[in-house]
Amino acid sequence: MKRRTLDLMFSIGGLGLAALLLVVGIVLTANANFANNYVRDQLSQQNISFTPAAELDDEEKKAACLVEYAGQKLTTGKQAECYANEYIGLHLKSIADGKTYADLGEPQSALREQVAKAEQANDPALADLQKQLAQVNQQRDTVFKGETLRGLLLTSYGFSEFGVKAQQGALAMYLGAGLLLLLSIAGLAHFMRTPSTEAFAAPTPASDREKTTV
């Protein structure tokens, strides 16, 4: 095979691969932009703002991201992760000794049964039991709302991470396309300089060189 033919084949193949990587990079960039814009728009509609630095308590100040984002409006995935874990998560721990919505279900049911029995028996402890039940109901309702908001914010953060990965993938595709383009251009330049009569010489195996020497 002639050397010029080989140069031309590799150059055209390189240009084709470069074009393919470029297209993939453009698609990944479009996906990344959609993810970022969608997360920003959805979070902006919630109108959530971080507590100003001067109003943070001692526990909140231990979270570096709460200090970093203090006073800012929540619009990014990273901010959503911080608010969900460091702010909502922190305050949920102070409700019902850190019990979750599911954890509070059993004591709530138990108190309802006790209240029902106390009502039937005209138990003097009825008022106290009703007070305890109201407290657990309020705690469970508050925890439910907090856990729900936390879950939604973490979902937004997870979706934003897909955008980050897409951006990284797009960068890799662009770099690969650029490298292949340069190599293809170099191949075409070599194609132009190579005489049309020059053939491609494959490397001679070591055993054949030894036989020739003997």
Percent of the chain with pLDDT over 90: 68
Per-residue confidence (pLDDT) for residue 28, from 0 to 100: 94
Give the count of beta carbons closer than 10 Å to the beta carbon of residue 42: 15
Cβ atoms 52, 176 nearer than 8 A? no
The tens digit of pLDDT for each residue in 163-201 reads 999 999 999 999 999 998 888 888 777 767 766 555 545
Q: Secondary structure of 173-188 in the HEC alphabet?
A: HHHHHHHHHHHHHHHH
- Average of pLDDT values for 48-73? 94
* pLDDT for 8 beyond 50: yes
For residues 102 and 83, the answer to whether their CB atoms sit within 8 Å is no
Q: Residue 77 pLDDT > 70, yes or no?
A: yes
CB atoms within 10 A of CB 199: 11
pLDDT value at residue 186 = 82
CA angle 149, 151, 97 (to 5 degrees): 75
Of 46, 11, 7, nearest to 155 (Cα)? 46
Q: State the average pLDDT over residues 54-70.
A: 94
Domain map (residue ranges) of the chain:
3-197
**What pTM, to 2 d.p., does this model score?**
0.74
**pLDDT exceeds 70 at position 78:** yes
Distance CA 34, CA 36 (A): 6
Inform me whether the pLDDT recorded for 209 exceeds 60: no
Whole-number Cα distances in Å, 52 to 67, 143, 146, 178: 8, 24, 20, 46
